[in-house]
Structure 1
Amino acid sequence: MSHTKQLTSLQLDALKEAANIGAGNAAGALAQFLGRRIDMSVPRTALISCADIASYAGLEEDSQSISIAFRVIGDLPGHFLMLLSEKTGLSLLKGLLPETKQVEIDNMGELEESCLKEVGNIMTASFLIALSVFLKVNLMNSLPEMTICEGGLFSELLLDEFKCSDAKALMLETRFHESEENLNIYLFFLPTETSLKKLLKKLGLP
């Protein structure tokens, strides 16, 4: 299947179900880590251009955003992204480090950066473990790489870091929120074209 070909509604529904399982596992891990209830939803599943991820995630051109990226290793190689708005990043840090004074996103210390990377690592690993069990495949994530940039520059980051061009990529967007506020956490799984074919085959789809 070429990346230029759109997925059918049946394929998208099956992928959304797989994403729901992974996201549910990730939400549980995040709730345990933060010590508070976390809800999640998978509102959109689509085949999009990597260059459109920033707009799909609602990243504003002139606002800071946080990208925590992983390579996916195993039977379905690709990349996995966790995107945070500046507000969400600060909210997470406030919950994880209540005794630490308020920091700005662009001048975080090693401790703050380590905390956000760990959030990304826990959620990504939980997501991939659930998908591994559901699809009966072997999936692991690499160590996290965190980047802070303006939303308008995120497409350039994807091109530089992942060599991601205008070719289509599978987007499994997941949003996490709690009763107090919307955390605006977005997860994207970007499999290679070969991995996407294998994924659909595992789901019993053409």
Structure 2
Amino acid sequence: MYVDIQSLGTFSRLARDGADRAADSLSQLTGANVYVDVTDVTLMAAGDLREAFTGQEFVGVEVGLMGGIAGQTVMAFEREAATELVSRLMPGGSDDPEFVRSGVTEAGNIMTSGFIDGWADHLGVAIDMTPPSYVRESGIDVLPDGAFDDERAGVFLFESQVSSMDADLDLTIFMLPEYSGFTDMLGHEDGGSAAAGDAVPVDKLPTFNRMTKRGAASAAEKVTMMTGTETDVDVSRLRFVPVGDVPSEVGDETVAGTVFELHGEPSGYLAILFDEESAEEVAGSMIPTETDPGIGEMERGALRELGNIMTSGFIDGWANVLGTSIEHTPPEFVHDMGSAVMSPLVSKLGRTQEHAFIIDSTVRTPDGGVRCDIYALPNQRELAAALDRIDAAVADGGRDVPEFDGAR
């Protein structure tokens, strides 16, 4: 099954519009200045989404969808945000569990209706909603039953982050349309347009995610080898986002690391970014002599060296599975807000495409003391064409993703 990139982009915009409507509803309910940070679409095997929800606590509502789109939508608040919401809707009621339940259910229902109405208007179909069910869960339990069933063919997860400038009302909207019905709307069976890179073979996306995980694991091994600090891959996923939203995905935390331009199939960009504290710790472990606090010239050199080796390990897996040759430029050291680091990259990418596949992997130490985020931004048409060439035996699980030795 192939999914048309332009159609996927249309639904990405619909999700953003729906999130904007939901944010407007929340603003009217609470009097707070609420806005949408970013909306993205995650595409991968159902089981691979578990990692993204680990350790989070949610309160919200779940609504079933029937008709033009079948599936489930969850409007989820962080627990603290739910308390703030109820205190605004029902002053003095945030300490009463029943007030919290009714307040969150009412707000969630109004916001979900606004979110779904935009989809129905665009598709010209009726989308019926079940009565909202209150949920209070941790991690993946906030999502509907069966969302992480490994027997499902795959998952399209629409995720919108909604924030407030003057109140702690952050929330996330998760929409999981029924996979088969959604791909019927988006795609087609033959790959006629995939040769030009206009469609993505969704059955091969789990394969691509597996090889990305291996690349991230190889990068983690390089960190361990060069610093003596044990690290592992915390999360790795593939998302489809408007190009202009990529800097918001990365955020405004100050980071230090390296940026590379990739040449080959697919071309694109790769950024390896440590938070400042992690960058100092990792660089310091590579420098044999004691240096002044901060990130000086010796630390920058160490991070360039580490980034160079991590990048080679990360992209070699792509090249082996895709049957292509991918090279990268020398490392460019960066030390700035994450969004500022990504802005020039997406500016270049935006000359040729409106949306981007962003592959993000997080490498951490077991205690969380060191964190490194790896962001890959491949050219979407070249990626789609390369995915179409993946060996069918690899894609359907009959043969494993080829191993690679990191030497290229």
Offset of residue 53 of structure 1: 3.3
Q: Which moved further from structure 2: 19-28 or 8-17?
A: 8-17
Give the match for residue 215 of structure 2: 22
| Stretch of structure 1 that moved more, 65-74 or 96-105 | 96-105
Structure 1 residues 4 and 144: CA distance shift in structure 2, 3 A = farther
| Cα distance, 1:33 vs structure 2 | 1.3
Aligned-partner Cα distance in 2 for 1:163–1:133 = 24
Would you say the 8 A contact 1:50–1:158 is kept in 2? no
Taking the aligned partners of 1:30 and 1:3, their CA distance within structure 2 comes to 38
Equivalenced residue count is 198
Deviations 1:170-204 (A, max 9, x none): 11111111134342211122111221212321335
- Secondary structure of the equivalent of 1:169? strand
Indicate how the Cα distance of structure 1 residues 41 and 16 shifts in structure 2: closer, same or farther if over 3 A, else same.
Answer: farther
Q: 1:70 deviation in Å? A: 0.9
- The residue that corresponds to 1:5 in the other structure is 8
**CA RMSD, 1 decimal:** 2.6
- 1:191 counterpart = 2:381: no
In 2, Cα distance between equivalents of 1:23 and 1:70: 16
Does the 8 Å CA contact 2:255/2:276 hold for their aligned counterparts? yes
Query: 2:139 maps to what in 1?
Result: none
Aligned residue among 30, 41, 52 for 2:234? 41
Q: Could you say if the C-alpha distance between residues 41 and 129 of structure 1 is closer, same or farther in structure 2, counting changes exceeding 3 Å?
A: same
Task: Quote the residue 1:32 is aligned against.
Answer: 225
Quote the Cα distance in structure 2 between the aligned partners of 1:175 and 1:68: 15
Cα drift, residue 158 of structure 1? 3.1
Equivalent residue of 2:370, what SS? Answer: strand
CA offsets, 1:119-178, max 9 Å, x none? 111111111112222222211111111222234534543355x35468211111111111
Q: Which runs of 5+ in 2 are unaligned?
A: 10-40, 45-153, 155-201, 396-408
Could you tell me the TM-score, scaled by structure 1's length? Answer: 0.81
Is the contact made by 2:235 and 2:363 (CA closer than 8 Å) also made in structure 1? Answer: no
**Which of 145, 152, 168 is 2:355 aligned to?**
168
- What is the one-letter code of the residue matched to 1:124? T
TM-score (norm: length of structure 2): 0.44
Residue number in structure 2 paired with 1:81:
271
Measured at CA, do residues 34 and 171 of structure 1 come closer, stay the same or move farther in structure 2, by a change above 3 Å? same
| Paired residues for 1:85-100 under 5 Å | 85-97=275-287, 99-100=289-290
The 1:116–1:48 alpha-carbon spacing in structure 2 relative to 1, beyond 3 Å, is same
| Alpha-carbon distance in 2 for matches of 1:4, 1:71 | 28
- Cα distance change on mapping 1:127 and 1:176 into 2, 3 Å: same
Contact 1:82-1:186 at 8 Å conserved across structures: yes
Shift of 1:91: 1.6
Residue in structure 2 matched with residue 126 of structure 1 by the alignment: 313
Identity %: 19
Q: Structure 1: give runs of 5+ residues left out of the alignment.
A: none
Q: Partner of 2:164 in structure 1?
A: none
Contact 1:96 1:115 in 2 (8 A): yes
**Superposed CA offset, 1:80-117 (max 9, x none):** 11122112211212211253224324xx22x2211111
Partner SS for 1:36: coil
SS in 2 for 1:173: strand
For the 8 Å contact 1:21–1:131, the answer to whether it is kept is no
Residues in 2 aligned to 1:92 and 1:32: alpha-carbon distance in whole angstroms = 11
Q: Could you say what secondary structure the match of 1:5 adopts?
A: helix
Residues 178 and 138 from structure 1, CA distance in 2 versus in 1: closer, same or farther, beyond 3 angstroms? same
SS in structure 1 at match of 2:366: coil
Q: Decide whether the 8 Å contact of 2:247 with 2:343 is kept in 1.
A: no
Q: Residue 118 and residue 155 in structure 1: after superposition, are their counterparts in 2 closer, same or farther (change >3 A)? A: closer
Greater Cα radius of gyration, structure 1 or 2: 2
Look up the equivalent residue of 2:333 and give its one-letter code. M
